[in-house]
A and B are shown apart, each in its own frame.
Chain A
């Protein structure tokens, strides 16, 4: 701001460019950050998918030798770690980032630079974890022998995504790969924790005028619940990861039974985080589906309050079911009974959601576009995952099922048939808002059906493979066990899924350039993000929206007749045209969060500390930690003193330049009296 000149500005300049590579690296725009989250997550999805295909080739026939045991263990560890921490979580974060401000009528999140920092920490954390491929070392447990060298593929973390102690401890996991895992997850946790706080503050404070909590779209509600789950569960895994890192690096003995430690303690920590984590993965998809089903049924969500409260209930109860991962670990019968019952209980809010979704499409005018196919597919597949989940709460049955492919089948029905189908539904649904163009519907539907067939062929047979005795994490299986034919079918299914991903990638990259222009509201949708032009302009809303109802946009477009049927208001078309004009040409100048160099620097400093901890006994260790800390602390200082905005020498594109408002800070008073702030001041 030209008038708030400070001496510091000459040293600490803010980046001026909002386009090109620098524009991306320094952005604080929630939409750009969302897009970066999305593409990064998708790259990790491809990596996790390739790992899955390698696993499936190895298991296609009994006693296969395609992968070595070391490679197989690394692949299943990284498949799980990648899909959970580097794909589903950040892909959900992509949706939160891009959509949350649009759906609540805000210009950005509460802390735009913190938002950028969480993305960069996530990216560098993911790269750090995968750098184990180049730098990690591993060998047999102390005293054991290997007949051949562990290849590069085997030099990825290999203790399972659950990292059970003491197998993940220093004696049994020699070398550095599990250090990469523990510290990598620690870094990723920081990223998620920061964004959780950001989303909570944003939802509390930055909703459009008139948007009460119970007028928020269900997707926003689910974001809200997920943010609290992250906030409360991540510290638990952070503590556990510190403990295992200390066990490995500094000789503590938290989980070493020979010194009085307790390996089962790790499991309590891990699953006390890990079960809420399951809901962190599935609730965003439930939110997406709760937006898609009403839009394509042209009906409101059935029982909105019930769906919202069921989501919140799942979040609460998600903290009280963790020991169902441990029914066979020798915990007391009281524990087993209690957690069996709590696990049964969590099926009730889940069932409420499913029945309400059914109620939503029942009696609607259903348009089976690709997002709707994926959303219905989500409900159908999630029902299967939910029902098999109930069989786990039958504790004695779980004694048979746990650690078998039956469990693998169950959680892939929940997390692939559930979370990933939901995410794809969302990708197609909001594609026009993101790109301004339509995807190819024919290819989209083809993608769905290929996915649907491939998914069920892959994960359906795993149910009976598990019941027929196939244990998990098994590099080979005996021919005599009779598991060969169905394993071959599963492998074929996995490649069909891969084909579906290729169709999606082609559709996406072709349509975003050449698809037909979509217009502002291609689905005749219900929520605020469809009241602005497509692709969404940088400032989101030309004029801050005022909300008067749940599904406000629909309520503005449609009235109901004496039978309760929707009737389009005669004024709707004119209103939409005006909205588009306002969105493209805001009547008043709008202040937006300025870009900053520092978020990416904070992120880039963190891996140095990680490497320093792993190699602390070498001469490089301490210097690496010092360099990393200097970069991080220096960046935060720079962050603190950087000016609110860079001065533009030429005033050509000064639409974001504003006279200072009454309080002397950047912010715009609207006609309705709300102050729009970029929020950037508060987080300094």
Chain B
């Protein structure tokens, strides 16, 4: 009918090879999708490790399987239509159907029924995970640009970056923010919840097994949002009690004349003490930065982005924090290498 139409290209390739191509492409797509979903990385929400996350995962997978079935049906129908009804020489003009009321009612009602079915468990869970039980372990969680602070009021513990919890115990995070919006997310233990300045939000965490669970701030919270991470250490209840006792103990005192003692002097003489508390050492009761009383009991620092056992990590952080975390509220204090070594030795001694 038109110039663009007349080329006989649709009859060029034999029918079988097209089918084979489509089939192998489909197989490849399914195979890559399945393999891709199972990375089991530390932030993998498809690898739940607690009853809440498992419950959410069950509901998501249920929906996902229904969605995949609809996907296959609809895409299959599109492919079938495009192949079956493709214009070929000699094909008659189509019947000019304007619609089919029965069919249209059917494909309206079926989705309604499917959605109604999924709505029931959805609404149940919305209400189920709204509030903590009375016997939950309360932890106050405060968001800062760009680190998380944890306060255990029951035990008089103030710590940061690493949240210690007992296994098989409901932990109730009562959360707020000191500055902008943040969003607390430990994918293997539960979904996310915002930290809102001036408001309290609640998130429950339950871990089945002892271990290390990673997390991340979900909401964009300014320059170093990408560097605001979280870590949860789950302990057997007995080990958790030991952790509590350790945190309640006074900080390690450096032996006089040691490198650590020199580090303590540097800590007090510089601006460090204006922001960071160390119990019984810092008279200022400073609370702007993380509490360092048991700094070395945590395996990560600086917003859970640096590992304490990584050689040089603490030293380069002390040398120039904004170079590692843009916008950091901890300034570059222009410390000498000797000062940095002493300070880091002291901080590493604060078990």
Interface residues of A (CB under 8 A from B): 68-70, 72-73, 140-141, 143-148, 160, 164, 166-167, 171-173, 257-258, 260, 262-264, 297-300, 302-306, 328-330, 333, 336-337, 340-341, 344-345, 347-348, 351-352, 354-356, 358-359, 361-369, 376, 379-380, 383-384, 387-388, 390-391, 393-404, 438, 441, 460-461, 464, 467-478, 480-483, 486, 516, 519, 522-524, 558, 560, 563-567
**Could you say which residues of chain B place their CB within 8 Å of the CB of A68?**
326
> Which of B3-11, B14-22, B257-265 lies at the interface with chain A?
B3-11
Mark the stretch among B105-113, B157-165, B235-243, B248-256 that contacts chain A: B105-113
Instruction: Tell me the smallest distance from the CB of A338 to a CB of chain B, in Å.
Output: 9
Residue contact A563 to B217, C-beta cutoff 8 Å? no
Q: A160-B220, A333-B126, A352-B104 are in contact. Are A473 and B327 (CB under 8 A)?
A: no
Q: Which B264-322 residues have a C-beta within 8 angstroms of A?
A: 305, 320-322
- Given A257-B199, A468-B43, CB of A164 within 8 Å of CB of B220: yes
Contact of A172 (CB < 8 Å), options: B108, B129, B191, B222 = B222
Name B327's contact: one of A145, A160, A258, A467 (CB within 8 Å).
A145
In the complex, which residues of chain A have a beta carbon less than 8 angstroms from the beta carbon of B320? 147
* Cross-chain contact B332 with A365 (CB below 8 angstroms): no
Cα separation A69 to B321 with both chains bound (whole Å): 14
- Establish whether residues B329 and A472, one from each chain, have CB atoms under 8 Å apart when the complex forms: no
The answer, yes or no, to whether B27 is at the interface (CB within 8 Å) is no
Give complex CA distance A548, B143 in Å.
Answer: 65
Within 8 A of A (CB), among B88-116: 91-100, 103-104, 107-108, 111-112, 115
Asked if B245 CB lies within 8 Å of chain A CBs, one says no
Q: Which among B41, B63, B127 is the interface contact of A468 at CB below 8 angstroms?
A: B41
User: Do B56 and A359 have beta carbons less than 8 Å apart?
Assistant: no
- How far is the CB of A102 from the nearest CB of chain B, in Å? 20
User: What CA separation (Å) do A213 and B90 show in the bound complex?
Assistant: 37
Is B74 on the interface with A (CB-CB < 8 A)? yes
Question: Closest residue of chain B to A348, judged by CB?
Answer: B111
Are B179 and A166 in contact (CB-based, < 8 A)?
A: yes
**Are A363 and B194 also in contact (CB < 8 A) when A369-B4, A387-B71, A481-B42 are?**
no
Tell me which residues across on chain B come within 8 A of A146, comparing CB atoms.
223, 322, 326-327
Bound-state Cα–Cα, A302 to B85, Å: 15
Give the distance in Å from the alpha carbon of A141 to the alpha carbon of B146 in the complex: 11
11 further interface pairs, Cβ-Cβ under 8 Å (given A359-B103, A391-B67): A144-B327, A164-B181, A300-B98, A330-B202, A337-B127, A363-B95, A387-B71, A403-B183, A482-B39, A482-B42, A522-B2
* A328-B126 in contact (CB<8A): no
Cβ A368 vs Cβ B199 within 8 A: no
The answer on a CB contact under 8 Å between B46 and A468 is yes
Residues B328 and A144 in contact, CB atoms below 8 Å apart: yes
Stretch at the interface among B76-84, B148-156, B338-346: B76-84
B45 and A469 within 8 A (CB)? yes
Determine whether B26 belongs to the interface, using a CB cutoff of 8 Å to chain A. Answer: no
Residue A144 contacts which of B42, B59, B145 (CB distance < 8 angstroms)?
Answer: B145
List, sorted by A's number, 6 A–B pairs whose CB atoms are closer than 8 Å: A140-B326, A347-B115, A368-B82, A393-B122, A396-B56, A560-B96
Q: A566 is contacted by which of B41, B93, B218, B322 (Cβ under 8 Å)? A: B93
- Contact A361–B85 (Cβ < 8 Å): yes
- Residues of B close to A336: CB separation below 8 A: 126
Q: Lowest 8 A-B CB distances belong to which pairs? A: A469-B43, A399-B191, A257-B198, A482-B41, A330-B201, A403-B218, A303-B99, A257-B197
User: Does B37 count as interface, using CB distance less than 8 angstroms?
Assistant: yes
Q: A352-B107, A396-B129 are in contact. Are A383 and B193 (CB under 8 A)?
A: no
Q: Is the CB of A141 within 8 A of B222?
A: yes
Q: Are A69 and B77 in contact (CB under 8 A)?
A: no
Task: Give min CB distance, B26 to chain A, whole Å.
Answer: 13
Partner of B194, one of A328, A352, A563, A565: A328
Given contacts A166-B179, A438-B4, contact A302 B327 (CB under 8 A): no
Q: Is the CB of A145 within 8 A of B332?
A: yes
Partner of A147, one of B192, B226, B326: B326
Query: Do the beta carbons of A347 and B82 come within 8 Å of each other?
Result: no
B227 within 8 A of A: yes
A479 to chain B, nearest CB (A): 10
B interface with A by C-beta (< 8 Å): 1-5, 7, 10, 33, 36-37, 39-46, 53, 55-56, 59-60, 63-64, 67, 70-71, 74-75, 77-78, 81-82, 85-87, 91-100, 103-104, 107-108, 111-112, 115, 118-119, 122-123, 125-127, 129-130, 145, 179-181, 183, 185, 187, 190-194, 196-199, 201-202, 214, 216-227, 229, 305, 320-323, 326-332
With contact pairs A145-B332, A328-B194, A365-B87 given, residues A306 and B99 touching in the complex (Cβ less than 8 Å): yes
Residues in A with CB closer than 8 Å to B226 are: 69, 72, 473-477
Complex: A305 Cα to B198 Cα, angstroms: 49
Residue in B71, B118, B327 whose beta carbon sits within 8 Å of that of A384 in the complex: B71
Nearest-Cβ distance from residue A334 to partner chain B, whole angstroms: 9
The smallest beta-carbon distance between B35 and chain A, in angstroms, is 10
Nearest residue in A to B74 (C-beta to C-beta)? Answer: A383
Q: How far is the CA of A173 from the CA of B327 in the complex (A)?
A: 11
Contact between chains at B183 and A328 (CB < 8 Å): yes
Contact partner of B196 (CB less than 8 A), chosen from A140, A257, A475, is A257
Task: Provide the residues of chain A in CB contact with B41, threshold 8 Å.
Answer: 468-469, 480-483
- State whether A140 touches B223 (Cβ < 8 A): yes
Whether B86 lies near A366 (C-beta < 8 A) is yes
Q: Are B99 and A400 in contact (CB under 8 A)?
A: no
The listed residue (A173, A333, A347, A566) touching B96 by CB distance below 8 A is A566
B327 x A69 contact (CB < 8 A): yes
When the two chains form their complex, are residues B181 and A469 in contact, meaning their CB atoms are under 8 A apart?
no
- Out of B53, B60, B112, name the residue touching A348 (CB < 8 Å): B112
Question: Given the interface contacts A258-B197, A262-B198, A304-B99, does A396 sit within 8 Å of B125 by beta carbon?
Answer: yes
Q: How far is the CA of A519 from the CA of B2 in the complex (A)?
A: 10
- Whether the Cβ atoms of A365 and B74 lie closer than 8 Å is no
Q: Hey, which chain B residues are within 8 Å of A477, CB to CB? A: 226
Say which residue of B59, B64, B94 sits within 8 Å of A565 (CB atoms): B94
Chain B residues, Cβ within 8 Å of A148: 323
Closest chain-A Cβ to B202's Cβ sits at a distance in Å of: 8
